[in-house]
Amino acid sequence: GNSVTQMEGPVTLSEEAFLTINCTYTATGYPSLFWYVQYPGEGLQLLLKATKADDKGSNKGFEATYRKETTSFHLEKGSVQVSDSAVYFCALSPISGYALNFGKGTSLLVTP
Amino acid sequence: EAQVTQNPRYLITVTGKKLTVTCSQNMNHEYMSWYRQDPGLGLRQIYYSMNVEVTDKGDVPEGYKVSRKEKRNFPLILESPSPNQTSLYFCASSPLGTGSYEQYFGPGTRLTVT
């Protein structure tokens, strides 16, 4: 079946540090891949997405590239801010439907 | 403003007392879904609906019911809640046919069953 594995948290970084959150997936064909972000006390918001191999999704300084050969979709940001503190979820949507398979989430804390 | 709304946002109830969590979206989306979020488990799908009167089970449907009588509403019903249904619940919606599969989430409902 489909599954998403992302790195365990929590991740604690100083402001302006480089961020990488690893995400790998198992799925047949070419699923769509997503990163969602959940700020404290809020629902999930789409951060970025990629729908085919080698696509790069980007938003708010975050980037992730759809790597079919390594079945990965790692999230990166060059310089994190305190306001980026949140839980980040990697997810996939299989080609056969709309159900989202989520990773378990990675909590990020950015300190001043 | 395009949004998914859920009510109530917080609910404490007792075992066996029937409850309904409402979900409504104003984006004319065909697809709607319910998830529960538990620590260490991420989000798991409970039920989903592809359109009015079309619903189907997700990964963890036991103990839940849903209905889709109108396109905008997708209530989640717990007919006899139990403590293991204490969780954070999210409703989501998505348009069909766009090819993006992006889902829009509500703010969440935190349910405690004692």
Q: Which residues of A touch B105 (CB under 8 A)?
A: 36, 43-45
**Concatenated DSSP letters for chain B?**
---EEEE-SEEEE-TT--EEEEEEESS--SEEEEEEEETTTEEEEEEEEEETTEEEE-S--TT-EE--SSSSB--EEESS--GGG-EEEEEEEE-SSSS----EE---EEEEE-
Pairwise CB contact (< 8 Å): A98 & B101? yes
Pairwise CB contact (< 8 Å): A98 & B33? yes
As a whole number, mean pLDDT of residues B70-82 equals 97
B109 in contact with A, Cβ within 8 Å: no
Percent of chain B with pLDDT over 70: 98
B45 in contact with A, Cβ within 8 Å: yes
What pLDDT is attached to residue A96?
61
Q: Which residues pair with B91 in a beta bridge?
A: B34
Instruction: Name the residue in chain B with its Cα closest to that of A34.
Output: B102
Q: Which residues of B touch A99 (CB under 8 A)?
A: 33, 45, 48, 58
Which band of pLDDT confidence, cut at 50, 70 and 90, is reported for residue B100?
Answer: low
Other CB atoms within a 10 A radius of the CB of residue A30 amount to: 13
Pairwise CB contact (< 8 Å): B106 & A43? yes
Which band of pLDDT confidence, cut at 50, 70 and 90, is reported for residue A99?
Answer: confident
As a whole number, mean pLDDT of residues B48-67 equals 94
B96 in contact with A, Cβ within 8 Å: yes
Which band of pLDDT confidence, cut at 50, 70 and 90, is reported for residue B61?
Answer: very high
Q: Which residues pair with A75 in a beta bridge?
A: A21, A64
Closest Cα to residue B103, out of B7, B30, B6?
A: B30
Pairwise CB contact (< 8 Å): A93 & B101? yes
Q: What is the pLDDT of residues A41-98, one digit of tens each?
A: 888 999 999 988 999 999 999 999 999 999 999 999 999 999 999 999 999 987 666 7
Instruction: Name the residue in chain B with its Cα closest to that of A87.
Output: B42
Q: Give the single-character DSSP code of A41.
A: T
